[in-house]
Amino acid sequence: MTLLALKLGENTVATIKRRAEIIQALKTLPELVAKVLTKEAQIANIAVKIKDASSVLVMGRGWNYATCVEGALKLKEVSSIHSEGVLSGELKHGPLALVDESMPIIFVATKDNNYDQVINSFSQVTARSGAPIILCTEGDNRVNEKFDRIEIPPIIDCLQVVVNVIPLQLLSYHVALLRGIDVDFSKNLVKVVNV
């Protein structure tokens, strides 16, 4: 899909540099995915903290909104926990009312054009006794280290979502194991394969 989008964008001179950056970043993607997979033990420890939750909010913005929706879907499908992907800019339109010390909230806040707005939402949650889990860019010092954090290696913005979704998938997997759920046969989930 990404290569198709790149191909379609070839006709404009203005996108040549951006296209070259994306192609170069695609070459580093396998190495970054492998780096994130080394964090599995850390993610398994975080899973212990949310295994008994009845609901989880996954928040982000921009490219990462898709990451949040996918992460929430995996928690539902694999862990049987109600979960919602929420645009962090919509926090005051309902989700903020759910925030307390017992509501697990995951923020996807890797550095991109929306980073400052996501950190603002993060601050609103922590001001209300929330203790969010945060996916942040390696070396991010704006996020207080007292919160659970998973540091993610940086890559170009449109591919960052690929790297960011992996910890959420691993988290769902480990939560399911802790809840005694067979991850290969999720409850009430029908998988269809057409050949």
Angle 59-60-64 (CA atoms, 0-180°, nearest 5)?
A: 130
CATH number of the domain at 34-178, out of 3.20.20.100, 1.10.10.10, 3.40.50.10490, 3.40.440.10?
3.40.50.10490
- Residues in contact with 115: Cβ distance below 8 Å, sequence separation at least 6, in sequence order: 109
Q: Which helix (H) or strand (E) holds 79?
A: helix 63-79
pLDDT digits (tens, 9 = 90+) for 99-114: 778 889 999 999 988 8
Q: State mean pLDDT over 180-192.
A: 73
Average pLDDT over the chain reads 86
Local confidence band at 143 (pLDDT 50, 70, 90 cut-offs) = confident
Contact predicate 81/54, CB 8 Å = yes
The answer to whether 57 and 93 have CB atoms below 8 angstroms apart is no
Q: Where are the domains of the chain?
A: 34-178
CA nearest to 57, candidates 99, 93, 106: 106
172-178 mean pLDDT:
95
Q: Quick one: pLDDT at residue 190?
A: 62
- The answer, yes or no, to whether residue 31 has pLDDT greater than 60, is yes
Give the mean pLDDT of 164-188. Answer: 90
Relative to beta strand 105-109, strand 149-152 is unpaired
pTM: 0.86
The tens digit of pLDDT for each residue in 113-140 reads 888 888 888 888 888 888 889 999 998 8
pLDDT score recorded for residue 192: 55
Instruction: Annotate 75-113 with b (16+ C-beta within 10 A) or e (fewer).
Output: bbbbbbbebbbbbbbebeeebeebbeeebbbbbbbbbbe
